[in-house]
Structure 1
Amino acid sequence: MTPRLRLGMVGGGQGAFIGAVHRLAARMDDEYELVAAAPSSNAERAKASGDELRLAPERVYTDYREMARAEAARGDGIEVVAIVVPNHLHCDVACAFLEAGIHVICDKPLTTNLADGEKLLALASAKRCLFALTHNYSGYPLVRAARELVASGAIGDLRIVQVEYAQDWLAQPLEHGDNRQAAWRTDPALAGPAGCLGDIGSHAAHLAEFVSGQTPSQISAELTTFVPGRRLDDHVQVQLRYASGARGMLWASQVACGEENGLRLRLYGSRGALRWQQEQPNELWFSELGQAARRLTRGMPWLPGAAAAATRIPAGHPEGFIEAFAQLYRDFAADVRRHQRGENVDRLSVPGLADGVRSLAFIDAALRSHRLASAWVALQN
């Protein structure tokens, strides 16, 4: 019997949304066991979270550096750590565990700046550690199906990329009240220089790249802050140019009233088109030129390999956000086990550091373009 991977977590204590999501995702396929955590730097809150998670008291930490050292020294120490802290801490926390030889699962964006992302890329390579980045929308079966359809030439040569991510939860200045999520996500000291752009625009950019197989070569961006007194952008529009000749548009907003979690992707080629949206994730619309649009659903026997492998239950039974998140955990577990057997893992099954660095390059270019009155800016390769 293959033992579960021993998992640790930094952040994600009581009241943290994304920490609970990670724990559910890790448990779904029974590949991990949470055995240690640094849920808070506050001793009382850390203990309360540790008790709630039923962790041994000696493996509940208030300092991630101490956790990395102590767990690396144990014979039964953690093999993988999940980093679910605010953006400004990602680099330092990840460095501590990579230095200890521990594989990493980290929330996006990878860091708050491109230089730190490149630093992590070099360190993980030097320490021969694997690193997964939770661009979790790539875990949906029909997103993977769309990717394979594009790669197979089903829509012909790519011409147009339209991706949007619209929410309304920051339409009011919640950061001035007691909403901790709003407070740190709109604070440049914690979130970095990009607000909506880094928070959800990075998801949209990765989704478009993941499915289309192409990265923009140039972008023109305008960042807007609609809520008075807010210190970071809450609305973003980015025009996209691709080396292939394709063109596109990315729109992300957290002040679009009436929108809940409107992540949508449309790809148009010379022979057809694909449409997918996260709020109806079990449907993919495929249009071939001159024919009626076809509604493709998760669980159908036609699904290509990667999409079929990501499907857990029969057609007609909905799968959603947690299952997609869990798919990244399951795929990463397989990568870690291959690595532990001495096999070469030169390409992860999930988004990783290279994806994170490209995302940071996109954010950096968008910020530069905005400062230059939306001038076209080349993305760093």
Structure 2
Amino acid sequence: MFNEEMHFESPIRWGMVGGGRGSEIGYSHRAAAQRDRLFSFVAGALDLNAERGKEFGMNLGLAADRCYPDYKTMFAEEAKREDGIQAVSIATPNSTHAEIAKAALEAGLHVVCEKPVTVHVEEALELKTLAEKQNKMLAVMYGYCGFQMVHQAREMVQRGDIGAVRVIQMSFAHGFHNTEVEKDNPGAKWRMNPEVSGPSFIIGDCGTHPFYMAGLITGLKVKSLMCSRQSFIESRAPLEDNAHVVFNFEGGAVGTLWASAINSGSMHQQKIRIVGEKASLEWWDEYPNQLRYEVQGEPARILERGMPYLHNDSPGVSANRQGGGHAEGFFESWANIYHRYALAIDAFERGDTQFLEGHWYPNIDGGIDGVKMVNACARSADQGAVWVDYD
């Protein structure tokens, strides 16, 4: 069961760039970071409109002089304070991530960045080098990987419960953009602009989530891939609103990914199925407290979060905030991840490299893999759906 008594002598002083009024992602970051009292939200550059951002920040409880017009001002002014921020989360459009993350690291801050961490692979690699030089945490927010049953799947694969992995099926195929919603939705519009979003819309926006989980659960690395993508809403071209990707993994396993924003009638359809030589596992984010376990020749089993038959010696599996049978969801997953970020930041500050070596959180390596995958998909699709090397 989750230990709510765990705390630091002083919470980590934390700020945000982006995530202003009306931002679902901004609210998710704030709710998750403050859930366990390990972070204290003290500063923000929340909006491109300085007055609107200041009003919003003050409504959230920030002091007026710590509601900043832009991230550069925030980093400079906070550095002058004895109680300045120690960490920052970046919840801005994709094309701005690299420059903001670089400035934050150079200012001596730990960073949590929305995915994709950058548009280009070279930028992500440069950020990793800078984070190592500054000895700061650089994390990427994959919000679904805090669910306990994702970690149960990981433990079962790693302990050999399903045998060698043969096939990985991934999907994140919703229907909420099956019409040209971006005409009246600014939050959707920038995602379909290649100057802001980068080389991909739906693969980068949604497909990277199950892709990250595939790597987390199986530990397998991609060798090559082939991508076919479409713009069913023609105005979105050259970015795709539907794509199918085929993967070859190291060791002989194969996989597929369906990423779509035009799957009419679907809520999320974010699923991952791991097929092994002895059994298969399947997890669906609309039923996150359950994991389907199918052994060849036996009845299918539904494993439930919070039960003693799980691999509860894994911190990821045992991070229960309620007992089994009570539904835990999106915000619990995010809070679990921010809890792990806090423990990582504390270890960085104490110089505890031994703890960090054994401590999982979605770090820059996962972010780099996501950027590589998106760029490889674009290369493949733009050449007519040909096979390309992952690296």
TM-score normalised by structure 2 residue count: 0.95
Name the residue aligned to 2:379: 368
What SS is found at the alignment partner of 1:229?
helix
Q: What is the count of residue pairs matched by the alignment? A: 379
What SS is found at the alignment partner of 1:336?
helix
Contact 1:185/1:195, CA 8 A, preserved across alignment: yes
Name the residue aligned to 1:272: 279
d(CA) in 2 for partners of 1:61, 1:354: 31
d(CA) in 2 for partners of 1:40, 1:243: 43
> What does residue range 228-247 of structure 1 map to in structure 2 within 5 Å?
228-231=234-237, 232-247=239-254
Confirm whether residue 152 of structure 1 aligns to residue 159 of structure 2: yes
d(CA) in 1 for partners of 2:386, 2:252: 19
> What does residue range 252-267 of structure 1 map to in structure 2 within 5 Å?
252-267=259-274
Confirm whether residue 338 of structure 1 aligns to residue 347 of structure 2: yes
Gap regions ≥5 residues in structure 1: none
Structure 1 position 297, deviation (Å): 0.5
Structure 1 position 162, deviation (Å): 0.4
Confirm whether residue 319 of structure 1 aligns to residue 328 of structure 2: yes
> What does residue range 91-240 of structure 1 map to in structure 2 within 5 Å?
91-177=98-184, 179-231=185-237, 232-240=239-247
d(CA) in 2 for partners of 1:183, 1:154: 44
For 1:296, the aligned partner's letter is: L
d(CA) in 2 for partners of 1:229, 1:42: 28
> What does residue range 67-78 of structure 1 map to in structure 2 within 5 Å?
67-78=74-85
- Runs (4+) of structure 1 exceeding 6 A deviation are none
Structure 1 position 348, deviation (Å): 5.0
Structure 1 position 303, deviation (Å): 2.3
State the percentage of identical aligned residues: 36
What SS is found at the alignment partner of 2:315?
helix
Structure 1 position 234, deviation (Å): 0.4
Contact 2:169/2:273, CA 8 A, preserved across alignment: yes
Structure 1 position 218, deviation (Å): 0.7
Q: Deviations over 1:231-251 (max 9, x none)?
A: 321001000111211111111
> What does residue range 271-290 of structure 1 map to in structure 2 within 5 Å?
271-290=278-297
For 1:313, the aligned partner's letter is: Q
Task: Go from structure 1 to structure 2 and tell me whether the alpha carbon gap of 1:93 and 1:170 turns closer, same or farther (over 3 Å shift).
Answer: same
Structure 1 position 48, deviation (Å): 1.3
For 2:227, the aligned partner's letter is: A
What SS is found at the alignment partner of 2:282?
strand
TM-score normalised by structure 1 residue count: 0.97
What SS is found at the alignment partner of 1:351?
coil
Structure 1 position 79, deviation (Å): 1.0
Contact 1:11/1:40, CA 8 A, preserved across alignment: yes
Q: Deviations over 1:115-154 (max 9, x none)?
A: 1111111111111110111111111000001001000010
Q: RMSD of the TM alignment (CA)?
A: 1.2
Contact 1:134/1:351, CA 8 A, preserved across alignment: yes
